[in-house]
Copies of this chain bind each other. A is one copy, B any other.
Amino acid sequence: MSSTDLSIELTGLGLENPIILAAGVLGTTGTSLKRMAGEGAGAVVTKSIGSEPKEGHPNPTMLKLDCGFLNAMGLPNPSYKDFRKELSIASEGGVPVIASVFGAHPDEFQEIILGLEGASAYELNVSCPHASGYGTVVGTDPVLVEEITRAAKRTTDVPVWVKLTPNVTDIVEIGEAASRGGADAVVAINTVRSMAIDIHSGYPILGNLYGGLSGPAVRPVAVKCVYDLYKALDIPVIGVGGIGSWQDAVEMMMAGASAVQVGSAVYDNVNIFSEITSGLSAYLKANDHCLDDITGLAHRKVEQ
């Protein structure tokens, strides 16, 4: 493997590079996903898709803050029935297309996965409100996460990734549940519970009152989650949260990420994927490293 080769095998999928478009960002339509593939993403994840059409929360749904972004989109999507066509258009981009799916219970995940056949892999977004639990989300309950993962694995032969929320006391417990359920990889992290209030009026700014923080502000949080998950799990960890440069990608990989996803940073530049891959490639070459050398390096340094 030449040191500037960025291609990886991730849960059985071949990626030309490990920089992936994150779920919910420029992933509403097939052509938008195709465009991101053209901008150099090694794979693309769709907007999270559910079983019924959903308009999402009222606007404002997203805000740029000093140090990141706050959003509460509310999982808007046209349902898998309508998204199927978009998926096949996205595939024309020539990179793996991962369908992000969400639901409130195992059956719902199964229904959506079946309805979205043809994805290269499925990413289970377990951030949906817990049907029975009050105020909590599915992803905070290890039992449910394990069941959902197992159900998804039974439903499809392609890889299943589980996207984890950082809004738990112990993310490793949830990661382990996913792993027990048969997940091929975990993806960490989704956004961090947050809120902003308009001081001119006293109103919470988001239509949903509160939302999730992403971007630079959450990168140190994501690095810690990825570090802990890598240490505890035997399956690959895909790092996401605040990555906006090749340096950020390297840090996340050293924490243990086999690949990374980029979401909010498209704000600065949709060409961020090529930018990161070329920086990463130059870094590896200059240091005579390959990707395997840096994934999890922090753990090997600590053990020394």
Please list the residues of chain A having a beta carbon within 8 angstroms of any beta carbon in chain B: 65-68, 70, 135-136, 140, 167-170, 192-197, 199, 201-204, 209-210, 213, 216-218, 220-221, 223-224, 227, 247, 250-251, 254-255, 294, 297-298, 300-302
- For the A-B complex with A68-B220, A193-B224, A197-B251 known, give 7 more contacts whose Cβ atoms are closer than 8 Å: A68-B217, A192-B192, A199-B247, A201-B301, A202-B298, A202-B300, A210-B227
Whether A223 touches B195, Cβ cut-off 8 Å, given contacts A66-B216, A167-B169, is yes
Residue of B nearest to A141 (CB): B169
Q: How far is the CA of A299 from the CA of B255 in the complex (A)?
A: 40
Check if A197 sits within 8 Å of B68, measured CB to CB: no
Q: How far is the CA of A209 from the CA of B155 in the complex (A)?
A: 40
Check if B136 sits within 8 Å of A195, measured CB to CB: no
* Residue from B194, B223, B247, B250 in contact with A223 in the complex, judged by beta carbons closer than 8 Å: B194
Whether A221 touches B199, Cβ cut-off 8 Å, given contacts A68-B67, A204-B302, is no
Whether A220 touches B202, Cβ cut-off 8 Å, given contacts A68-B67, A136-B169, A210-B227, is no
* Residue from B170, B195, B203 in contact with A220 in the complex, judged by beta carbons closer than 8 Å: B195
Q: How far is the CA of A197 from the CA of B222 in the complex (A)?
A: 12
Q: How far is the CA of A66 from the CA of B135 in the complex (A)?
A: 33
* Residue from B194, B196, B210, B223 in contact with A197 in the complex, judged by beta carbons closer than 8 Å: B223
Whether A294 touches B220, Cβ cut-off 8 Å, given contacts A169-B169, A254-B197, is no
Residue of B nearest to A255 (CB): B197
Check if B250 sits within 8 Å of A199, measured CB to CB: yes
* Residue from B70, B197, B217 in contact with A67 in the complex, judged by beta carbons closer than 8 Å: B217
What is the CB-to-nearest-CB distance from A140 to chain B, in angstroms, rounded to a whole number?
Answer: 5
Q: How far is the CA of A55 from the CA of B174 in the complex (A)?
A: 34
